A and B are shown apart, each in its own frame.
Chain A
Amino acid sequence: MKPQKTWLAILLLLFASFALMACAGGADNAGETPAEEIEEEPATAPTVEEEPVEEMTEEPVEEPTEEMTEEATEEEEATEEADDGAVVRDPEADLVIWADETRAPVLQGVADMFEEEFGVVVAVQQVDFGEIRNQVGIAGPAGEGPDIFVGAHDWLGELVANGTVAEMDLTGIEDQFEPSALEAFTYNGILYGMPYATENIAFFCNPDIVETMPATWDDVLALSEELAPQGITGWTIETNDPYHWFPQITAFGGYVFGVTEEGYDATDVGLDSEGAIAAAEWLGQMVEAGFVQPGMDRNTRLALYNNGDLACFNGGPWDLPDLRDAGTPYMVGPFPAGTAGPGEPFLGVQGFMISPFSEDPLLAQAFLTDFVATEDVMFQLYEAGGRPPAFLPALERVEDEDLQAFAEVGANARPMPAIPEMSAVWSAWGNAQELIIGGELEPAEAMMEAAQQIRDAISAANE
């Protein structure tokens, strides 16, 4: 009797399973025949998380803003459910946006307006800026990703290679954007993002200590010698931070990757070029004289400056709030010149990108081009982020003199290479900087070693 009973039981189980599948199937099939289901309620997505996103520690859901509290929208109810720490796509939302803590509140305002006016539910999820880059590669293919995400142009090489960014179509409104910002978001001839801000570093000096900004790097060295007896450091730099070091390298003619007509050339590494080595040797002089010392990081540099112990440094717009809070006087200007002219920093561009896994890319485009690309919203984004807008009508409204100074320096800036090979550059280059500042290697030797490490890493990865 026993075997029959077992078989009967298994049959029963199978039957129950198929019955359940049939129930769930209705929702699952929604994607296959979209045209027929427009008028229906949004199908409830399965609650099973196929690929839990574990690394996400940031609370994804933006707190409802005060303006929102009057009407309890569907969206609020939906967001309250997802408080388990993982970024899970809000199934009620027509559009999901991932933005960092600075941009999210502004976008939330636009989203509320959009919903009120058109009944389209836009969920803004707050994700740490650096995390967005990794998570679009993990959550996107699993169907849990955003439709729109905020990012930087130098991610493009990786995102395009991964297939986690879709083409952007700004036909008709291109002329309202800073051309260099659009160019930065163009990769292999295709536009992938709608820029909203540009950023670059500039040269800071304390006017209480120096009357005029040093015009050349030799002046910086002379200034350091002059100030040393008073216990003041003339100029210093983070020990392992090539991003901040770059303008000094370009001033002597150094570069990271050579440029061809098609863009950056990963086979031409310029960190051991004559100019880069000359720049490193200048830094070596500063180290030898004891003006630049190891163990420096951004917080230490700001603390020294605010104490009046540091005259000049290379800094970004993100340093402005700290200096203003501390009340330390400062002036912002172009970088000193070297043998090859004034130092040129990296240009970084931030923008919105659309995921290729978006179910509704036209709506995502429409939201960006018709509602975010407006003078008001772009100006709000500027006020929240403190970077010069890449949207020209908003840029014209900016009255902050410091930011205008940054924008002037940025006019000569070089777009940070967006090719994926850039990931091999940072650590090798930073180590070279640290070895020079730590006095462990001769400057020329350190730069040649870094360039070789980069070439090896690139050729190993291309095998």
Chain B
Amino acid sequence: MMNDIKARGSSEPLAPPSRNVLGYLLRLGGLAIVDAFAVWFLYVLLRDGVWPIAIPVALIVILVNIVNLNERLAAMRWQIPAVSIILLIVVFPIAFTIYSSFTNYRSGHILSKQQVINQLEGRLYLPEGGPTFAWAAYRNPDGEFGLWLVDEAGNKFWALPDAPIEEAGAVSEDIGPVDDDGYPTRVGEYRRLTGGDLFRSLEALNGVRFGEGDEAVQIRNTRQAATLQPRYQYDPERDAIIDQLEGTVYFGNEERGYFISEEGQNLLPGYQVMIGTRNYERLFTSPAFRGPFIRIFLWTIAFALLSVVTTFALGLLLAMAFNDPLLPGRKLIRSLLIIPYTLPGIIGVLIWRGMLNPFVGVLATTSQSIFGWFPPFLTDPFWVKVGILLVNLWLGYPYMMLISSGALQSIPEDIYDAAAVDGANAWQRFWNITLPLLLVSVGPLLIASFVFNFNNFTVIFGYNEGRPPIAGSPTPAGHSDILISYTYRIAFEGGRGSDYAYAAAVTVVIFAIVAILTLIQFRFTRQWEEVSESV
């Protein structure tokens, strides 16, 4: 198809594929269904104001349409589902994280501005000295409501929406007999609502103003109705919220995400705004960055690197040991060795944590009774790191064993034979043949393992929550914290609850660090590839 198009050249318009009208119609039908759902989905998204999701969805839909309707792009038709999925599942979360890092999305700034205005405008207050009433609700056959009110002095009133409240004696309609609660069973065509009828009507009764102007009465709860007034009003021209009770004016502040009075008082709740690079500025100027950051960064690299090296070394050793077909029972032993891989990581970590517990742990108490000493694996800054590496080794070696076993099989025997003829000893054969050839195939997996461990929150937090704490640090930080667990700390144990936007900013920075480290490592693997080519 591609060649076809190229051969025809771009200036010559394509003939419609008349040989396959049915296929064309089917495709059009399928596209129509996709589009219909997409437009509906977009409608829902836009109605809720979720722009960051609506825009990429719209772009993808346009792309899908162009590709499917333009004959020149026919070759791309089979790519487009994959491309769409990549855009939605990979690119979008990254874009959304970057977007979030430029907002103030955190505790206190969860809602959109419109949601905040709606919520504030819904708040009511009872003016001082405003009357309160006991009430009963009524409904006529048209579904309109009426309210029978009894004030504190026992005076009775009849109120309808947007009509003056009448004293019960002045009501022209005939009033039914009084029921056990002391309320008339009906007023004209209006019948009293009780039990389930009343409870099911509460949603419709909510916010209905019975009466006119300032006298209007609203239901407050099942026992009381009162002349409630809206507490806040939004003035779009000044972009301000006016407090009707206090008279204070709060102006919208797009920098801080609050309505703020002239005295500097914030009106809660706050809303989401774009704050530019402030999260990044805060990261690079905060004591959190100056203080333990370098130390944590170095430990993160050491942890990731040592985890890869130790797991790979042990995995390879075991793989080579069990690669020998003469070894009896190797299948069974190999199966048993894989068990740690089949356990969920966090379970393994917690089991180890229990066994290492200095007071009641099996390993600790046994070692105490035999040697009188046990490394403080959970409390000492140095031994905690050793403990984490050991647990991670236990968790990670089966994977390395599996991939090494496979890769070992692929190294041709004749190279070893040739080496033996040349008089190479076992170490030389391993160092000059096995390892370089192995690294060619497992090198990318080792990098993947490094990146995985770089962000291995589960092991760090499950083992000891990054503890013990670092003394003298300007922000809370632990000796075994890695970057990602430290991010968790500063984002979610910070000054005022959860700071998602700040976490996003730190994540973007970590992403950049990991990307750079990975690029450097790929350089190294390229060297290994050259080795393999020269063999």
Closest residue of chain A to B28 (Cβ to Cβ) is A9
Q: Flag if B111 contacts A163 (CB, 8 Å).
A: yes
Task: Give CA–CA (A369, B473) in the complex, Å.
Answer: 49
Q: Flag if B495 contacts A17 (CB, 8 Å).
A: no
B9-40 Cβ-contact flags toward A at 8 Å (1 or 0): 00001101000000000001001110111111
Task: Give CA–CA (A172, B135) in the complex, Å.
Answer: 14
Closest 7 CB pairs of A and B: A461-B495, A163-B269, A118-B196, A431-B469, A17-B39, A161-B108, A360-B203
Give the residue of A161, A295, A441 whose beta carbon is less than 8 angstroms from that of B471. Answer: A441
Q: Flag if B495 contacts A21 (CB, 8 Å).
A: no
Task: Give CA–CA (A358, B468) in the complex, Å.
Answer: 44
Q: Flag if B469 contacts A20 (CB, 8 Å).
A: no
Q: Flag if B204 contacts A370 (CB, 8 Å).
A: no
Q: Flag if B40 contacts A17 (CB, 8 Å).
A: yes
B:217-247 near A, CB below 8 Å? 219-224
Q: Which residues of chain B have C-beta atoms less than 8 A from A164's C-beta?
A: 110, 269
- 13 examples of A-B residue contacts, CB within 8 angstroms: A16-B36, A20-B36, A38-B143, A158-B108, A164-B110, A171-B221, A300-B360, A366-B202, A423-B107, A424-B494, A456-B474, A457-B495, A462-B495
Q: Which residues of chain B have C-beta atoms less than 8 A from A458's C-beta?
A: 495-496
Q: Flag if B376 contacts A295 (CB, 8 Å).
A: yes
Give the size range of B's interface with the partner: 35 or more
A329 within 8 A of B: no
A362 within 8 A of B: yes
B236 to chain A, nearest CB (A): 20
Apart from A35-B143, A38-B204, A457-B494, 4 more pairs, CB < 8 Å:
A120-B196, A362-B205, A363-B203, A460-B494
B155 within 8 A of A: no
B246 to chain A, nearest CB (A): 12
B:469-486 near A, CB below 8 Å? 469, 471-476, 478
Q: Flag if B40 contacts A424 (CB, 8 Å).
A: no
Q: Flag if A20 contacts B39 (CB, 8 Å).
A: yes
Closest residue of chain B to A39 (Cβ to Cβ) is B143
B48 within 8 A of A: yes
A398 to chain B, nearest CB (A): 27
A367 to chain B, nearest CB (A): 8
Q: Flag if B199 contacts A424 (CB, 8 Å).
A: no
A108 within 8 A of B: no
B133 to chain A, nearest CB (A): 12
A:105-120 near B, CB below 8 Å? 117-120
Q: Flag if A13 contacts B35 (CB, 8 Å).
A: yes
Dominant secondary structure of chain A at its interface with chain B: helix
Q: Flag if B360 contacts A20 (CB, 8 Å).
A: no
A222 within 8 A of B: no
A:440-460 near B, CB below 8 Å? 440-441, 446, 449, 452-453, 456-460
Give the size range of A's interface with the partner: 35 or more
B:367-403 near A, CB below 8 Å? 376, 378-379
B:498-519 near A, CB below 8 Å? 498-499
A:55-83 near B, CB below 8 Å? none
B466 to chain A, nearest CB (A): 10
Closest residue of chain A to B47 (Cβ to Cβ) is A28
B69 within 8 A of A: yes
A:405-453 near B, CB below 8 Å? 420-421, 423-424, 426-428, 431-432, 434-435, 438, 440-441, 446, 449, 452-453
A132 to chain B, nearest CB (A): 14
Task: Give CA–CA (A31, B316) in the complex, Å.
Answer: 63
How many cross-chain pairs have Cβ atoms below 8 Å apart between A and B?
245
Task: Give CA–CA (A145, B276) in the complex, Å.
Answer: 30
Closest residue of chain B to A138 (Cβ to Cβ) is B110
Given A10-B69, A48-B44; A34-B203 close (CB under 8 Å)? yes
B:35-72 near A, CB below 8 Å? 35-41, 43-45, 47-48, 50, 53, 65, 69-71
Q: Which of A94, A360, A459 has the most chain B CB atoms closer than 10 A to its own CB?
A: A360
Give the residue of B115, B359, B499 whose beta carbon is less than 8 angstroms from that of A141. Answer: B115
Given A424-B493, A435-B469; A363-B202 close (CB under 8 Å)? yes
Give the residue of B16, B379, B496 whose beta carbon is less than 8 angstroms from that of A438. Answer: B379
A356 within 8 A of B: yes
B243 to chain A, nearest CB (A): 14
Given A141-B115, A435-B469, A453-B475; A362-B221 close (CB under 8 Å)? yes
Q: Which residues of chain B have C-beta atoms less than 8 A from A446's C-beta?
A: 471
A134 within 8 A of B: yes
Task: Give CA–CA (A303, B195) in the complex, Å.
Answer: 53
Q: Which residues of chain B have C-beta atoms less than 8 A from A94's C-beta?
A: 200, 203
Q: Which residues of chain B have C-beta atoms less than 8 A from A421's C-beta?
A: 495-496
A365 within 8 A of B: yes
B287 within 8 A of A: yes
A293 within 8 A of B: yes
A316 within 8 A of B: no
Q: Flag if B469 contacts A303 (CB, 8 Å).
A: no
Give the residue of B471, B476, B492 whose beta carbon is less than 8 angstroms from that of A428. Answer: B476
B489 within 8 A of A: yes
B410 within 8 A of A: no
B434 within 8 A of A: no
Q: Which residues of chain B have C-beta atoms less than 8 A from A304's C-beta?
A: 359-360
Q: Which residues of chain A have C-beta atoms less than 8 A from B115's C-beta?
A: 141, 163
Q: Flag if A423 contacts B108 (CB, 8 Å).
A: no
A:298-323 near B, CB below 8 Å? 300, 303-304
B:443-475 near A, CB below 8 Å? 467-469, 471-475
Q: Which of B45, B108, B469 has the most chain A CB atoms closer than 10 A to its own CB?
A: B469
Q: Which residues of chain B have C-beta atoms less than 8 A from A360's C-beta?
A: 202-203, 206
B176 within 8 A of A: no
Q: Which residues of chain A have C-beta atoms less than 8 A from B71's C-beta?
A: 2
Given A34-B203, A163-B111, A457-B495; A119-B196 close (CB under 8 Å)? yes
Q: Which residues of chain B have C-beta atoms less than 8 A from A171's C-beta?
A: 220-221, 223-224
Q: Which residues of chain A have C-beta atoms less than 8 A from B478's C-beta?
A: 431
Q: Flag if A366 contacts B221 (CB, 8 Å).
A: yes
A350 within 8 A of B: no
B240 to chain A, nearest CB (A): 18
Q: Which residues of chain A have C-beta atoms less than 8 A from B201's C-beta?
A: 38
Task: Give CA–CA (A362, B143) in the complex, Å.
Answer: 19
Q: Which residues of chain B have C-beta atoms less than 8 A from A424's C-beta?
A: 493-496
Q: Flag if A295 contacts B358 (CB, 8 Å).
A: yes
Q: Which residues of chain B have C-beta atoms less than 8 A from A142's C-beta?
A: 48
Task: Give CA–CA (A1, B18) in the complex, Å.
Answer: 12
A212 within 8 A of B: no
B115-156 Cβ-contact flags toward A at 8 Å (1 or 0): 110010011000000000000000000010000000000000
A:274-301 near B, CB below 8 Å? 293-296, 300
B32 to chain A, nearest CB (A): 5
Give the residue of B108, B196, B379 whose beta carbon is less than 8 angstroms from that of A239. Answer: B379
Task: Give CA–CA (A154, B45) in the complex, Å.
Answer: 34
A:344-362 near B, CB below 8 Å? 356, 359-362
Task: Give CA–CA (A9, B69) in the complex, Å.
Answer: 8
Task: Give CA–CA (A167, B123) in the complex, Å.
Answer: 9
B:96-116 near A, CB below 8 Å? 107-108, 110-112, 115-116
Q: Which residues of chain B have C-beta atoms less than 8 A from A438's C-beta?
A: 379, 468
Q: Which residues of chain A have C-beta atoms less than 8 A from B224's C-beta?
A: 171-172
Give the residue of B116, B360, B489 whose beta carbon is less than 8 angstroms from that of A303. Answer: B360
Closest residue of chain A to B66 (Cβ to Cβ) is A6
